[in-house]
A and B are shown apart, each in its own frame.
Chain A
Amino acid sequence: MKYGIVIVSHSFEIAEGVKKLISQAAPDLSITTAGGTDDNEIGSSLEKIQKAVDDNTGDEILAFYDLGSSKMNLEMLMEMTDKKIHKYDVALVEGAYTAATLAEVESPLATIETNLEPLKIK
């Protein structure tokens, strides 16, 4: 599919939980996660984000994150990878859910982004 979704969270469980939630709305979408540190403690891991991006089968990535270092590690990876990543500064759960629902029915990026706009919180 055109778009895949990557969830980056400080918590392994949050990342997995969001994936589980949005998979219901978007069963055909490639959704990969990077939650917590390498030891699944609270924090973020560039290596996990890299893997989530590499494993994602979408041509382009729609990326959602929660707190500070998730964002910074995500931005760091965006400087290092050739894959096209769109990062959204929106509420994690609502944003990922909205994007997943729309990407599942192959909505264009402009439509997805219009719907994400009111969810911008950071």
Chain B
Amino acid sequence: MELNLADTKKWIELFVEKVEDNTSELNELDTAIGDGDHGSNMARGMAAVTDALAKKEPSDLAELYKTVAFAMIQKVGGASGPLYGTAFLDMSKKVKETTDLAELVQVGCDGLKRRGQSDVGMKTMIDVWQPVAESLKSDNFSKSIVENALNATKDMVATKGRASYLEEKSKGHLDPGSQSSAYLFEALLEVLGE
């Protein structure tokens, strides 16, 4: 499965829209187990993405992913800046070799693992990215894959990130980064028309 430049741009624009529509939901999730600013931070990043794309129309996929990466790295402020930034930056490098979405999402996910020094099962964004990457590989990417991955973070005990200070008390809450990542992949589903 792959996306051309116009559809990838549409994907990002839909992601921006979803984050902006759900900023307070993301803040609320983060208030439960973090410092309450994931929505505001992401919204700041999304505004920067919109500005950057308006300022200069990317001429290819690598440039598009890189533009998104830099906007988020520079403007988010919280940990999600370098995390999303690294994922998109690694995707911008990989897309020069392949446009296969499964490979791109996996490279992004590997970037998250490297930057956050974490892995699946730690109640982080990776718990959404990894199942999505795998479903793209086996050609069964769907809304339920995203929903199930997101909902599975609810019963996890956080062992990375700020929520890990709460230990057992982090149980019972969705991971905010997984929720924003779910918006990213729901946006992708919409572009793919599924």
- Roughly how many angstroms separate A47 CA and B115 CA in the complex, as a whole number? 17
Which chain B residue has the least Cβ–Cβ distance from A39? B77
B-side interface mostly: helix
B172 within 8 A of A: no
Q: How extensive is the interface on chain B, given as a class?
A: 10 to 19
- Given A43-B41, A68-B161, A68-B162: A73 in contact with B74 (beta carbons within 8 A): no
Asked if A43 and B77 make an inter-chain contact with CB atoms under 8 angstroms apart, the answer reads yes
Please give, as numbers and ranges, the residues of chain A lying within 8 Å of B131 by CB-CB distance. none
Q: How extensive is the interface on chain A, given as a class?
A: 10 to 19
Q: List B residues at the A interface (Cβ < 8 Å).
A: 41, 73-75, 77-79, 81-83, 85-86, 115-116, 161-162
- 30 A-B residue pairs with Cβ-Cβ distance under 8 Å, sorted by A, are A37-B77, A38-B74, A38-B75, A41-B77, A43-B41, A43-B78, A44-B77, A44-B81, A45-B74, A45-B77, A46-B73, A46-B81, A46-B82, A47-B74, A67-B162, A68-B79, A69-B77, A69-B78, A69-B79, A69-B81, A72-B79, A72-B82, A72-B83, A72-B86, A72-B115, A73-B82, A76-B73, A76-B85, A76-B86, A76-B115
